[in-house]
Amino acid sequence: MKRIRPVGVRADRRRGFTLTEILVTMLIMGIVAAAVFPLFIVCHRFWRSVNLRVEVDRRATLALNRMVYGVGASHGLRTARQGTVMLTPAEDGWSLSYVDVKNRTNRIVYSQTDHRLTLHPGPTTLGEQIESAQAVVNPRTLDLTVRVHQVEGRFEATGMAQTSIRWRN
C-alpha cells in the first residue's frame, strides 16, 4: 500500500521545529529574562533590607525582655523589690543593681565600648550590638530603652524597644 502525502509538504519537514522557530523562541525568552532579572535584584535587595530591620528589632526586644523577665534561674527586673533598685553610672555605661524576691542581689551592666548588656552573677549576655541603653529609676517605676544598630554590607538598620516597669511590691 502506498502512503499519500499532503500536497506541498516534504517528508523531512513533518517533525520538529525549524531553525527560525527556535531562534525566535530564544529571542523572546531572552527578552523576558532581561526584563525579569532586574526585578529579581530589586526584590532581593528589599528582602535583605527588611530582614535586617526585623533582626535588629528582634534583638532589641530580646535584650529588653531578658532584662525584665530574666534568663534561666536569674530573676529579671520585674521581680525587683521596691526601693532596692540602684542605678550607678560607670566610665563606659551604667550598672543597675537590685534585690529580687528571693533576696538575691543581681546586677545588669551596660558597656558602651563592648556594645553589650550583661546580667551578674554569671555573667549572662542579655544583648549584643547595643548602640545605647538607658535606664531611669523613678520612685514608682523603672523606664528602660534599648537601641540596637547593625550594618550588613551596604545595608544599615537601627531598632529600638522600650518599656516601663511598675513596682508591685
> Tens digits of per-residue pLDDT, 13-68?
568 899 999 999 999 999 999 999 999 999 999 999 999 999 999 999 999 999 99
Do residues 76 and 108 make contact, with C-beta atoms less than 8 angstroms apart? Answer: no
- Average pLDDT for the chain: 88
pLDDT number for residue 70:
85
> What does the pLDDT average to over 111-133?
91
Do residues 59 and 78 make contact, with C-beta atoms less than 8 angstroms apart? Answer: no
In Å, what is the CA distance from 156 to each residue of 6, 44, 112, 146?
A: 69, 15, 19, 17
> For residue 149, which amino acid is it?
H
Instruction: Provide the 8-state DSSP code for 147.
Output: E
Checking if the pLDDT of 138 tops 60, the result is yes
β-sheet with 93-99: strand ranges across: 86-90, 93-99, 105-111, 116-120, 124-128
**Domain spans in the chain, listed from the N-terminal domain onward:** 44-166
> What does the pLDDT average to over 105-119?
93
Q: Which long-range contacts (CB under 8 A, 24 or more apart) does 39-44 make?
A: none
pLDDT number for residue 9:
57
